[in-house]
Amino acid sequence: MNKTVLAAIIVVIAMLGFTYVAVGGAGGMGGEGDWVNKLAVLGAVVLVIVTAFVVTKYVRQMQFDKASGKLADENWDGIGEYKNELPFGWAVIFLGLNIWAIWYFLAGYPVNAYSQIGEYNEEVAAHDAKFEAQYANMDDTALNEMGQSVFIVQCAPCHGLQADGIDGKAANLNHRLDEKSIKHVIQNGSNNQLLGMEMPMPDRNGLMNANTGALITDAEIDAVSKYVAGGMKGTEGADVFAGTCAACHAADGKGTDMVAPSIVEFNPTLIANVMKHGKKGAIGQMPAFNNLTEVQVKALGAYVTGLSK
């Protein structure tokens, strides 16, 4: 027997013995149904055998084979390559290992394996379901108390404990909109999915004042921004609102279903959509918060809605 082949056999036996010892003998293979350890050991065995076969094959080729065949046209500094066919055995091994890898990841492990992350997610889902059922029928007082707790944890770091926005770092939730935010939306448009769906508001180049028959002007933007920010009181800017904004936001500014949101007051639906989709405006971008349960979102909506009343 060739010395190279004999050495390969000895190495394979030694590596398999080392693998057997490393996993703790037959006891380390796991009990019935323990596929994780069985697959790991089987993968190690296959790897050792394939590696030994490939190394042995090419070492023997280097020892005994002679170059033959047709040279490729290209060469590098006079060094050329033969146009050899892909070795059949190499192709079979390569294909087999690819099939094994696909099966291993999709049917064997890790897709079907135990994971701490998966267990954690299942426990969280079970807890959330229990939480939802327990607090599904709260009265208004309990709902506001829960909403305040959620607000302190999730919202106060940016909006402040008093929901005043911490000197402009976030929106002041004690009133619906300020003048700066209104101007920004009119000038740049909005696509914050405040209705829970894609219903963008055009920028100023798409806003026509029906009273004048022309696009809205800077002076009209200033006037209507002050009018809306001031609670839609007084007369300055009222005509601009009626001619430009009321068609979508309604004459009282409380919005129109499937068309535009309320711009005079918060409501639970609006708050829920902001939490789900986030919001981008004059101050910056607020991320979406998808870590809350439906009950928590409902409670938060009730609490924030009550702040501006």
Which positions make up the binding site for heme c? Answer: 155, 158-159, 208, 245, 248-249, 286
Residues 204, 219 contacting (CB under 8 angstroms): no
Residues 225, 245 contacting (CB under 8 angstroms): no
Distances (CA, A) of 171 to 111, 191, 222, 233, 297: 43, 17, 20, 22, 18
Task: Supply the DSSP symbol for 151.
Answer: I
Q: Which residues are part of a known binding site?
A: 155, 158-159, 208, 245, 248-249, 286
Which residue from 189, 183, 185 is spatially nearest to 237, judged by alpha carbons?
Answer: 183
Residues 128, 297 contacting (CB under 8 angstroms): no
Distances (CA, A) of 95 to 56, 101, 105, 110: 20, 10, 16, 21
Give burial (CB, 10 Å; 0-12/13-18/19+) of 124: exposed
